Chains A and B, each alone.
Chain A
Amino acid sequence: MDLSQLPQQIVNGLMLGGVYVMVAVAFTLIIGMLNFLNFTVPALFMLAAVLMWAILEGHGIALDLTAIAVLLVLAMMVADRLQQARLPPPVKTVGALGLVAGACVFLWLTLSFRPGPAVFAWLDGAVGAGGRWFLGIVVALATVAVLSLLIERFTYRYMKAKYGDATEHALPLVSSLGFLIVIEHTVISTWGSDALTTESPFGNASFEVGPVLFSVPQLLSLILSLAIVFGLSVMLKTTKLGRALRSIAERPDTAPLMGVEVGRIVPVVYVIAGLLCATAGILFTINYTTVDAYIGDTVATVAIAGMVLGGLGNVWGAIVGAMLIGMVEVMSIYMVGATFKKIPIWGLLLLILIVRPTGLFGHTAIGKGKF
């Protein structure tokens, strides 16, 4: 073992931790507020990373998929409004049928015209290389935000309306696993399950401080992710929205009595969590330039270990935990070998769960429900 590489490895560990931080905070937000383990977080991370890759590489089908996702969510929102509207039942039935017909027509139009490639052709001509960057970031963020709304309905809202307490059963967990399968297999059946690589626009931009090499994009994304999470925690602490979120986390039954509009706030939690994992996914593509359909399982689930280490529902705990896990991963690869990394990460998680289930800085009340 060559100890002169140690400072470099510490820096690499921090950089990797920076990607995990946002995913861990996304996990911890949902588990802290709504008391369920959201398995769509890894899927959304992967989706954002792959969409970013696809748009950088000029795959028009990415835009087609986005259009279909947006359509699905719009149709669902209109259907919700229709159901709540005070209209005579026949009008509602006709409206629902019209909605389905309209959705089918739009789907058929999208599938037959394939607007994606045309958009790319126009974009490359009109804007140049930077256009794809901008488009990739916007599309990845927008798709994930829109899908978060869809996921919120099927993991939380309908269950809450039907059973009073959405987390009583294992329902949200199972629905989120269903979404995980849908998203992963959409990507697999579109681009296959092999590794997908792209060129980093920053090239190998880097600078040296003493013996340590800092890669510019990695450093930027670490700073960005810490800034976002810092902003989030300030938001939780000071704004009205943050106070509403904390009240839901504290007592979901009492919050509505205090005038918190739970039905409006919960989608916001999902969208924030979704945007966090989408940002992590975009940064992952930019930094590591290689993605595949399984990075949700292999990369983002590691953030679960970071989240538990810091204590469920604790944003600052998630940051420290994710950084530690990133460090543990890089160090175990450096000292023993790449195949070894699973043992310290998951062994550490198992140990913490058994010895101190509340994590290093955890709340005791969270995660005690049935599932």
Chain B
Amino acid sequence: MSGYLESQLIILCLNVIYAYGIFLPAASGQLNLGAAGFITIGAYSSAWINASGAPMYIAIPASMLFCAAIAFTIAFPILRTRGVYMVLATFAFAEVVAGLIINLEFLGAAAGYPVESHADYLVVVPVTILVVLLCFFLMSTRLGLAMRSIHDDEAVATLFGVDVRLAKVAAFTLGAALMSLGGALYGHHYNYIETQTFNVLLSIYILLYVLLGGTQTAWGPLVGAAFFTVVPEALRQIATASGHAWIADSRFIFFGAIIVLMMVFRPEGLVTRTMVDRAATPFGGGRSGAAPAARTA
């Protein structure tokens, strides 16, 4: 595989993992704008465990456990907040993490932190596929159903006996573990991490991948992350090759404009539940009672 394709594949894989980490809470109706915080924790903890002697195959799961423990602890106070407050709380959490790391001398502070073991695409790609399969499985379980019901209507979910808090905390914690996995893989692939990479814009982009892909089905984050990783890059390649460098420079302007327009034309995301149900039964079966009416009103 050529170096260029490989680097793009790695970026795609990492974005998909991050997106699933945000998707799990989003599928249960919580907007998490703190992706950068969990990614930072994952990247740094895995790198630090690796540096103190453990091999990568132990360091990455250990960092996921560590991040899940942190997420579990903060989930209870953070999930008390709702709506806008939750967006702000997760955002503040990410900023606090960034502020802490940049002051910790043993993690390299502002100078960044080198990572020892290297993970090439033979590690990253299979792990990504596993993550995708796991999330598809998760959404088909009872927990996935509970998350969907909370996303659609929390009060009704409570009335039907869904343990809302348990499902929310589980989604938040699992999502944090996935983001930590993504962060750890980032560190081990590039062998160097610094907090400035994991900034507010990263959190925003990941949340956008998920919301634009759609939070109703597990296809959403995959399609969203793939679409918004591949299309701008392809646009850049085509524009550079055809001599329109200014299009390549301004591709993110188009990206932003597409986001705004998508909210007008496809507000539930690229992939919706109705669409998946129809695709699953292509000969008209999806039109019967099985297809839920689009909840747009």
**Which residues of A approach B to under 8 Å, CB–CB?**
31, 35-37, 39, 154, 158-159, 162-164, 169-171, 173-175, 177-186, 188-189, 297, 301, 304-305, 308, 312, 337, 339-343, 345-347, 349-350, 353-354, 357, 367-371
**Contact yes or no, A343 B103, CB < 8 A:** yes
**Contact yes or no, A368 B82, CB < 8 A:** yes
**Contact yes or no, A174 B263, CB < 8 A:** yes
B83 at interface by CB-CB < 8 Å = yes
Count of chain B residues with a beta carbon within 8 Å of a chain A beta carbon? 50
Which residues of chain B come closer than 8 Å to A189, judged between CB atoms?
Answer: 246, 249-250, 252-253
Q: Which of B31, B98, B212 contacts A173 (CB 8 A)?
A: B31
**Contact yes or no, A36 B96, CB < 8 A:** no
Which residues of chain A come closer than 8 Å to B264, judged between CB atoms?
Answer: 154, 158-159, 162
Q: How far is the CB of A353 from chain B (nearest CB, A)?
A: 5
Which residues of chain A come closer than 8 Å to B82, judged between CB atoms?
Answer: 367-368
B267 at interface by CB-CB < 8 Å = yes
**Contact yes or no, A297 B100, CB < 8 A:** no
Contacts A186-B250, A308-B88, A371-B83 given; does A174 touch B212 at CB 8 Å: yes
**Contact yes or no, B250 A185, CB < 8 A:** yes
Q: How far is the CB of A160 from chain B (nearest CB, A)?
A: 12
Hey, what's the 0/1 contact readout for B64-94 against A, CB within 8 Å counting as 1? 0000000000000110111111011101110
Within 8 A of A (CB), among B195-220: 199-201, 204, 207-208, 211-212
Q: What is the CA–CA distance of A164 and B199 in the complex, to the nearest angstrom?
A: 35
B166 at interface by CB-CB < 8 Å = no
A-B contact pairs, 24 of them (CB 8 A): A37-B88, A158-B264, A159-B267, A169-B268, A173-B87, A174-B212, A174-B259, A175-B260, A175-B263, A181-B255, A181-B256, A186-B250, A301-B200, A304-B91, A308-B88, A312-B84, A339-B109, A342-B96, A343-B100, A345-B95, A350-B96, A353-B88, A353-B92, A371-B31
Q: Which residue of A lies closest to B98 (CB)?
A: A342
Which residues of chain B come closer than 8 Å to A308, judged between CB atoms?
Answer: 85, 88
Which residues of chain A come closer than 8 Å to B246, judged between CB atoms?
Answer: 189
**Contact yes or no, A367 B92, CB < 8 A:** no
Which residues of chain A come closer than 8 Å to B83, judged between CB atoms?
Answer: 367-371
Q: What is the CA–CA distance of A297 and B98 in the complex, to the nearest angstrom?
A: 14
Q: What is the CA–CA distance of A301 and B249 in the complex, to the nearest angstrom?
A: 26
Q: Which residue of B lies closest to A346 (CB)?
A: B95
**Nearest 10 A-B pairs (CB), nearest first?**
A342-B99, A178-B259, A182-B256, A181-B256, A346-B95, A185-B252, A367-B84, A343-B99, A178-B260, A354-B77
**Contact yes or no, A367 B256, CB < 8 A:** no
**Contact yes or no, B102 A339, CB < 8 A:** yes
Most chain B CB neighbours (cut-off 10 Å) among A36, A347, A353: A353
Which residues of chain A come closer than 8 Å to B81, judged between CB atoms?
Answer: 353-354, 357
